[in-house]
Amino acid sequence: MTSLIKSANATEFQEILLSNGQAKLHRLLPFVSQSFLDSIKQGDWPRWRQRLDQLPRHKPSQFQIAGTIRIGQSTDLTAAEKSTLEKQLKEFIPWRKGPFNLFGIEIDTEWRSDLKWSRLAHMIAPLKGRRVLDVGSGNGYFSLRMVSEGANLVVGLEPHMAYFAQFCALRNFLPSSPAVLLPIPLEQMPRPLPHFDTVFSMGVIYHRRSPIDHLLHLKDCLCSGGELVLETLVVDGPAGYSLLPRAGYARMSNVWFIPSIPSILQWLDRCGFINVKVISESTTELTEQHPTEWMPFKSLDSALLANNPSQTVEGYPSPKRAILLANKT
Ligand SMILES: C[S@@+](CC[C@H](N)C(=O)[O-])C[C@H]1O[C@@H](n2cnc3c(N)ncnc32)[C@H](O)[C@@H]1O
């Protein structure tokens, strides 16, 4: 059988990057080459590649994106095919971002990512015809939502190979789509590459040791007049204040700076962005993030104090998030 990775990335991804006048993106081609994918040693990548190669090539009779991303319907498969596929998809657990439905198989993900999308979709510059960069794209749930809004091209960046593998698994069943995922962190992107009309960084900045460098790098990916969509955890506090957890935050060990809203506005301003504004503030509820059959590990419920859910187990304020927009001059 042709290697799925070979067909889904090395060839098809290269074609997408080079088509429709995207020639400037030739600098990204090394990251979708077979040799680059072969060189990745992280996690269980070799095992996930084998699993990807074992996936069948069922053809979906329909493709719909509303809250749930639906690929195919139950009647496209026999009961035996559906049962086998469900087992194969479960091999890619944990499924964090979604929800998805593949051929009637409901992938009930940890996050109701559709809720985040509904907070921002009507506030951002329409994506129709735009070139979009989705930094920290996870399994590509949002990248696919961006495509469904009419984006010309969506390039996702996701260095965590478990989520990259999930995207490859989903893409195996998708009709052709201008969405490409690169298995690299933003820091590995050629710089500057001011090619994108909209750059999303959602849920990433508080994982970075240097948030200002993150913002400056995002700016280097935007074309003049382009829009940044930044989503982050926030805490209450004045300008200049941010929380640097002693160790973990809400059981996450890789959290660095959680800014107050006045601070993140100031960071964006100092980085030279204009038209900076907050479009959404929300408290993360258990209805939005919870363990499921497809993500059976610890989640928000075990990160909050049982007798006081307004605090994390480390004694910090429980998660609040904000979405901001800004433009490059
Ligand atoms: C909290 S998740 C957010 C996923 C999705 N964007 C969302 O909003 O739900 C953060 C993601 O960013 C990825 N990530 C972390 N550091 C990154 C970096 N330097 N460049 C690109 N992605 C990064 C992680 O692997 C993870 O999948």
DSSP states of 216-259 as a string? HHHHHHEEEEEEEEEEEEEBS--TT-EE--SS-BTTBS----EE
Nearest-atom number in ligand 1 for the CA of 163 is: 27
Mean confidence (pLDDT) of the chain: 93
Query: Nearest CA to 40 among 152, 151, 188, 155?
Result: 188
pLDDT greater than 60 at residue 2: no
Please check the confidence at residue 315 and state whether its pLDDT lies above 80. yes
Write the pLDDT tens digit of every residue in 164-177. 999 999 999 987 88
Decide if pLDDT at 115 tops 70.
yes
Query: Distance from the CA of 204 to the center of ligand 1, in angstroms?
Result: 5
pLDDT of residue 226: 98
Tokens of residue 33, six digits: 């080459």
How large is the average pLDDT for residues 184-204?
Answer: 97
Name the residue at shortest CA distance from atom 1 of ligand 1: 203
Tens digit of pLDDT for each residue in 198-221? Answer: 999 999 999 999 999 999 999 999
Which helix (H) or strand (E) is 61 found in, with range? none
Read off the pLDDT of each residue in 64-70 and give the average, rounded to a whole number.
93
Find the mean pLDDT for residues 261-268.
98
115-143 average pLDDT score: 98
Which residue is closest in CA terms to ligand 1's atom 11?
136
| Cα 136 to averaged position of ligand 1 atoms, centre (Å) | 3
Please work out whether the CB of residue 204 comes within 6 Å of at least one atom of ligand 1: yes
What is the rounded CA–CA span in Å between residue 91 and residue 52?
10
Express as a percent the part of the chain with pLDDT over 90: 86
Percent of the chain's residues with pLDDT above 70:
96
Q: How many CA atoms lie within 13 A of 214 on its CB side?
A: 23
Distance 53 CA to ligand 1 centre (A): 25
Q: Does residue 299 carry a pLDDT above 50?
A: yes
Task: Decide if pLDDT at 21 tops 90.
Answer: no
Contact 258, 231 (CB under 8 A): no
Question: What are the Cα distances from residue 317, in Å, to 149, 221, 232, 283, 321?
Answer: 35, 33, 15, 10, 12
d(C-alpha 258, C-alpha 241), whole Å: 9
Instruction: Find the mean pLDDT for residues 302-325.
Output: 97
Residue 20: pLDDT band with limits 50, 70, 90: low
In the reported structure, the alpha carbon of residue 210 is separated from the centroid of ligand 1 by a whole-number distance in angstroms of 15
Backbone region of residue 104 per phi and psi (left: phi > 0; alpha: psi in -120 to 50; beta: other values): left
Contacts 24+ apart (CB under 8 A), 254-259: 254/207, 255/206, 255/207, 256/206, 256/207, 256/208, 256/209, 256/211, 257/205, 257/206, 257/211, 258/206, 258/232, 258/233, 258/234, 259/211, 259/232, 259/234, 259/235
Instruction: Look at 20 and 286; give whichever has higher pLDDT.
Output: 286
Q: Which of 19-23, 34-38, 150-154, 179-183 bottoms out in mean pLDDT, i.e. has the lowest?
A: 19-23
CATH architecture assigned to 4-327: 3-Layer(aba) Sandwich (3.40)
- What are the C-alpha distances in Å from 185 to residues 37, 130, 209, 240? 14, 22, 13, 27
What residues does each domain of the chain span?
Answer: 4-327
Mutate which of 207, 218, 230, 256 for ligand 1? The one with the most ligand atoms within 8 Å of its CB, which is 207
| pLDDT confidence band for 66 (50 / 70 / 90) | confident
